[in-house]
Structure 1
Amino acid sequence: MSDNTEGFLSDQLSRSTPIFGLRLWIVLGISVGTAFVLVLFLIALWLMISKPNKSTCSTSKDNKSTSQISSTYPMHEIRIDKSKEPKNHKEVKSHIASNPLLELELVGKVENGALLKEDSSLVGVRKVQVEVSHLGWGHWYTLKELEEATKGFDDDRVIGEGGYGIVYLGHLKNNTKVAIKNLLNNRGQAEREFKVEVEAIGRVRHKNLVRLLGYCVEGDHRMLVYEYMDNGNLEQWLHGEVGPYSPVTWEARMNIIIGTAKGLTYLHEGLEPKVVHRDVKSSNILLDKQWTSKVSDFGLAKLLGSERSYVTTRVMGTFGYVAPEYASTGMLNEQSDVYSFGILIMEIISGRNPVDFTRPPGEVNLVDWLKTMVSNRNAEGVLDPKLRDKPSARSLKRSLLVAIKCVDPDPQKRPKMGQVIHMLEIDDFPFREGRQAEGNNSKHANDGMK
């Protein structure tokens, strides 16, 4: 009987099936194997779903490190003291402003100091997203920090004022002195100046450019924080009350000229896109204790790509320093800065303002007066009367010739800033090149210095 049964089962298992003509025992084997794999998959899925806390904890550090690398909304875990929970947006912003990692119940996402949304469902441990720097550089200062640094933006802390902002002396908690530029509440222009200044100079590091340390963006407030310069600006020393003799010697003045030239050369030739400052003037040249000059205030700067020789824009700048072709056509390039730099050299040498309506008619315009003096072979007559020590004839002629070349009416004949540095630093420049006439004005000036 058993032999008959076994034979029967063997026949049944060996018979063909409609599934691709496979034998029955093969189909049964495939079915069992598939069922086994499916069971294993379901078990694995159940294990993953049943342990979310472990998964979250294991990935939180990875998420944190990733966010720090990408500089995008770093996450911080903050332990809660429920009794100290902020009651409104203002309190939340205040807590974050004083310390983003304070052990308080901080709720929501903060972007540039402004609360965007709340999530009251979080308890125990809250995760707060703080955008430390969407610009990717520098330090993000809170409004509270800068208010404390300036004693509430006290008038006694004002160290400079301009068309677009007020500059305050600030003392940070680590006793570092800083200059804080508070842009005026002119939303359109203030916002544009803020962005231009940050884009133009935020990442730049050069000995002769004022370093931008960081910024503050809260609500309508836009502030820029710079390194503090102990000796103020050049305009104060040239035109302020300094007594019968200026403490800025001829040697110091030449160092200021060359340092400024090096800063502008870096902007024009060392960056891509190049930066055209557009407002080179004595009040924007800051000085340290050693009279090292640093170009500042890039609020009017323009970025100019290498593929463009000029850009047409609305005429901006300071009366007396603006290049004539820029004033008449709005066509701007680095030669516009070269012209302004030539005016600056004349101002440093003579101690006169670029335009002074209090002087006799022939002396109102600094460029015309200086060219006339030089062509009349009276180069020493242009010297600042407050200079105690007189320069050598060679040094004076060299600096005057460079200034005259920089203000050539034809922008194509003006030297580049890199060439200006070379001309200022070589001793034989006036005698080797001074005889090469470049237009009538340059020829007269050169003849006057022979």
Structure 2
Amino acid sequence: MNQLLQISLSGVASFSVISAIFLFVYLICKCKNKSQRLEQTLPQTHPRQTTSGHATDELSSNSITAGESASFDPCLQEVSMAELNEATNNFNPKLIIGDGSFGLVYKAKLANGVTVALKKLSPDAFQGLREFRAEMETLGKLRHKNIVKMLGYCMSGPDRVLIYEFIEKGSLDEWLQDLPSLPPELSEGHWISPLSWRLRVKIVKGVANGLAFMHGLDTAIVHRDIKSSNVLLDNNFEAHIADFGLARSIEGAHSHVSTQAAGTMGYMPPEYRNGYTAASVKGDVYSFGVLMFEVATGKRPNWPVRDDGCELWMVEWAKKRMSENKHLEVIDTSIPKESLRDDEVYNFMKVAKLCTSEKPKERPLMSEVVDMLNSVAS
């Protein structure tokens, strides 16, 4: 009898324990479902935005989950990615006006009537959010008549778009190399076309002034991709340096070491081509010297030139002609010879030759180049 009672009591206890466990699980599930239903009835919240458009620290430092924008110029007020999409018809390829480093450039007219250039960065250009903001803040403060203004930027999800002032007459490369393909509104007018010698000298001086300004800052900025397609011309043919996709800030005379490829073949200084990755002001000086030769000769620096049955790179060819006292023979044939002064052309080419010295230490500073150009070309 006692044994039967013990068995009964044991069964009742087991049943009670199992029932309690099932009841506990049921209550947990019921509370969880209730919580989920409650969340669904509440309005969704997003990380709070400041008045400047920056997300608060609720956002991860390396990702963007909400729209963000910043303005560096009074002409650009609050702007959203939705407005930029509308202004470009969802970045229609028909509005592309350039192909800069790490992205395509589009022409767009904003809702406030301001025409701008929008550079939509490719995924290859992405970096940490904090680093990106810091670089944009630095470039957004650059104000010089020979540097394209960065007006602001806009980000949403994976998309990052830089907003620049629109420069009317396109790139120097187009005016030197592709004049027949320029739209009628750019190639017509009272200006001499193709570019006269005086206009070419003016453009070169403008680029020199812009670079000297960048290199002379307390924290120097090295462009690292000076070339004719990165020089834009306004209605007065004033030069504006554009596309700072490879630009780096450096302290004083120091250099910035980077594993990122810098520059464009033909303009790249020999130390870059040989694997030296430190960005320095002297690298910009070399590229500027190549640009000077291109402006004078009208020939692309990355295309070979035939000379006495041999093929030479444009810079080598121009230097060889100079050594033979045939510097006038390298000048673009579209420039009337009667408009040229022998001594002025020679001194202009001499500056270009000095800038393209093989050894960085032998190249002048851009401030020195400005002084030389002011003295050799009126």
If the TM-score is normalised by the length of the shorter chain, which range does it land in? 0.7 to 0.9
Match of 2:254 in 1: 309
User: Does residue 325 of structure 2 align to residue 372 of structure 1?
Assistant: no
Report the AA paired with residue 309 of structure 1: H
Superposition pairs of residues 63-142 of structure 1, within 5 angstroms: 109-110=48-49, 133=70, 139-142=77-80
Superposition pairs of residues 24-39 of structure 1, within 5 angstroms: none
- Contact kept in structure 2, 1:191 and 1:222, CA below 8 Å: no
Change (3 A) 1:367 1:219: same
Change (3 A) 1:376 1:192: farther
Q: What does the per-residue CA deviation read over 1:157-203, in whole Å, with 9 as the maximum and x for residues that have no partner?
A: 11011341010000112221100001113363697995575144211
Report the AA paired with residue 361 of structure 2: Q
Report the AA paired with residue 317 of structure 1: G
Gaps of 5+ in 2: 1-41, 59-65, 182-191
- Contact kept in structure 1, 2:348 and 2:376, CA below 8 Å: no
Change (3 A) 1:206 1:356: same
Question: What SS does the corresponding residue of 2:118 show, helix, strand or coil?
Answer: strand
Among candidates 168, 171, 178, match of residue 230 of structure 1? 168
User: Does residue 83 of structure 2 align to residue 145 of structure 1?
Assistant: yes
Question: What SS does the corresponding residue of 1:303 show, helix, strand or coil?
Answer: strand
Question: What SS does the corresponding residue of 2:126 show, helix, strand or coil?
Answer: helix
User: Does residue 249 of structure 2 align to residue 300 of structure 1?
Assistant: no
- Mark the structure with the bigger radius of gyration: 1
- Contact kept in structure 2, 1:287 and 1:293, CA below 8 Å: yes
Mapped partners of 1:167, 1:428: distance in 2: 34
Report the AA paired with residue 255 of structure 2: Y
Report the AA paired with residue 148 of structure 2: V
Superposition pairs of residues 378-389 of structure 1, within 5 angstroms: 378-388=326-336
- Contact kept in structure 1, 2:67 and 2:157, CA below 8 Å: no
User: Shift of the alpha carbon at 1:109?
Assistant: 2.1
Q: What does the per-residue CA deviation read over 1:92-131, in whole Å, with 9 as the maximum and x for residues that have no partner?
A: 9xxxxxxxxxxxxxx86247588999xxxxxxxxxxx997
Change (3 A) 1:189 1:237: farther
Question: What SS does the corresponding residue of 1:426 show, helix, strand or coil?
Answer: helix
- Contact kept in structure 2, 1:280 and 1:340, CA below 8 Å: yes
Q: What does the per-residue CA deviation read over 1:335-386, in whole Å, with 9 as the maximum and x for residues that have no partner?
A: 0000000000000000011121475674441111001111111111111112
User: Does residue 148 of structure 2 align to residue 201 of structure 1?
Assistant: no
Mapped partners of 1:204, 1:428: distance in 2: 28
Match of 2:348 in 1: 399
User: Does residue 109 of structure 2 align to residue 171 of structure 1?
Assistant: yes
Q: What does the per-residue CA deviation read over 1:399-440, in whole Å, with 9 as the maximum and x for residues that have no partner?
A: 1000000001121111110110111111499xxxxxxxxxxx
Mapped partners of 2:167, 2:73: distance in 1: 25
Kindly tell me the number of residue pairs found equivalent between the two proteins: 315
Among candidates 95, 99, 106, match of residue 157 of structure 1? 95
What RMSD in Å do the two structures reach over aligned CA positions? 3.4
- Contact kept in structure 2, 1:311 and 1:333, CA below 8 Å: yes
- Contact kept in structure 1, 2:70 and 2:154, CA below 8 Å: no
- Contact kept in structure 2, 1:259 and 1:293, CA below 8 Å: yes
Which stretch has the larger CA shift, 339-348 or 360-369? 360-369
- Contact kept in structure 2, 1:277 and 1:301, CA below 8 Å: yes
Change (3 A) 1:193 1:405: farther
Report the AA paired with residue 255 of structure 1: K
Match of 1:418 in 2: 367
Mapped partners of 1:233, 1:136: distance in 2: 23
Report the AA paired with residue 394 of structure 1: D
Q: TM-score, normalised by structure 2?
A: 0.74
- Contact kept in structure 1, 2:305 and 2:311, CA below 8 Å: no
User: Shift of the alpha carbon at 1:322?
Assistant: 1.0
Change (3 A) 1:362 1:346: farther
- Contact kept in structure 1, 2:144 and 2:210, CA below 8 Å: yes
- Contact kept in structure 2, 1:200 and 1:298, CA below 8 Å: no
Match of 1:276 in 2: 222
Change (3 A) 1:169 1:209: same
Report the AA paired with residue 273 of structure 2: A
User: Does residue 237 of structure 2 align to residue 267 of structure 1?
Assistant: no
Report the AA paired with residue 169 of structure 1: K
User: Does residue 177 of structure 2 align to residue 239 of structure 1?
Assistant: yes
Mapped partners of 2:356, 2:67: distance in 1: 50
Match of 1:46 in 2: none
Report the AA paired with residue 344 of structure 2: S
Report the AA paired with residue 228 of structure 2: S
Mapped partners of 1:225, 1:261: distance in 2: 24
Report the AA paired with residue 310 of structure 1: S
User: Does residue 298 of structure 2 align to residue 351 of structure 1?
Assistant: yes
Report the AA paired with residue 420 of structure 1: V
- Contact kept in structure 1, 2:207 and 2:239, CA below 8 Å: yes
The percent identity for this pair of structures is 34
Among candidates 104, 120, 124, match of residue 186 of structure 1? 124
Match of 1:248 in 2: 195
More relative contact order, 1 or 2 (CA 8 Å, 6+ apart): 2
User: Shift of the alpha carbon at 1:222?
Assistant: 0.5
- Contact kept in structure 2, 1:197 and 1:301, CA below 8 Å: no
Change (3 A) 1:401 1:136: closer
Which stretch has the larger CA shift, 135-144 or 413-422? 135-144
- Contact kept in structure 1, 2:233 and 2:240, CA below 8 Å: yes
Q: TM-score, normalised by structure 1?
A: 0.63
Question: What SS does the corresponding residue of 1:242 show, helix, strand or coil?
Answer: helix
- Contact kept in structure 1, 2:318 and 2:330, CA below 8 Å: yes
